């Protein structure tokens, strides 16, 4: 389901914790997660050097960051069960944190992979 421009603007303006909550509900609802890909997945780096794997609830939000911060990358989806069952455990093992719902210039929601997995599983049980 495509998201209209007004809704995109409203959601992007939410605070970090509100975007995180939106992300959890939306990906559980759709069963799909988005990131950016170009000959490999997009990564960011925290100030301390920790790698961050960015995630979005819809392609439209990922595309905004591709246009601003990851030029040449394109939104790529994968199933929520793959995120929970395979990717998050691997990220946790590798010491890579998740960057949930980046917006241009805002990177303030970076839960550990274990916390994100628990929150997604809890929402799935509702």
Please give the pLDDT value at position 74. Answer: 95
What's the confidence (pLDDT) of residue 1? Answer: 55
pLDDT of residue 70: 87
Residue whose C-alpha is closest to residue 37's, from 16, 12, 63: 63
Q: What is the mean pLDDT of residues 110-117?
A: 88
Structural domains present in the chain: 13-124 (3.40.1350.90)
pLDDT of 59 above 60: yes
Tens digits of per-residue pLDDT, 64-96?
Answer: 888 877 889 999 999 999 999 999 999 999 999
pTM, to two decimals: 0.89
Q: pLDDT tens digit string along 1-29?
A: 567 788 888 888 888 899 999 999 999 99
Contact criterion met (CB below 8 Å) for 67 and 108: no
Distance CA 20, CA 116 (A): 10
């Amino acid at each position: 389901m495509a998201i209209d421009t007004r809704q995109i603007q409203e959601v992007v303006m939410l605070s970090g914790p509100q975007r995180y909550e939106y992300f959890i509900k939306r990906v559980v609802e759709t069963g799909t997660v988005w990131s950016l890909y170009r000959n490999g997945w997009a990564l960011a780096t925290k100030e301390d050097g920790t790698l961050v794997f960015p995630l979005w609830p819809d392609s439209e939000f990922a595309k905004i960051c591709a246009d601003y911060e990851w030029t040449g990358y394109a939104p790529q989806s994968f199933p929520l069960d793959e995120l929970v069952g395979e990717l998050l455990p691997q990220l946790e093992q590798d010491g890579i944190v998740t960057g949930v719902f980046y917006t241009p210039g805002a990177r303030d929601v970076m839960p550990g992979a274990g916390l994100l997995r628990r929150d997604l599983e809890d929402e799935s049980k509702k």
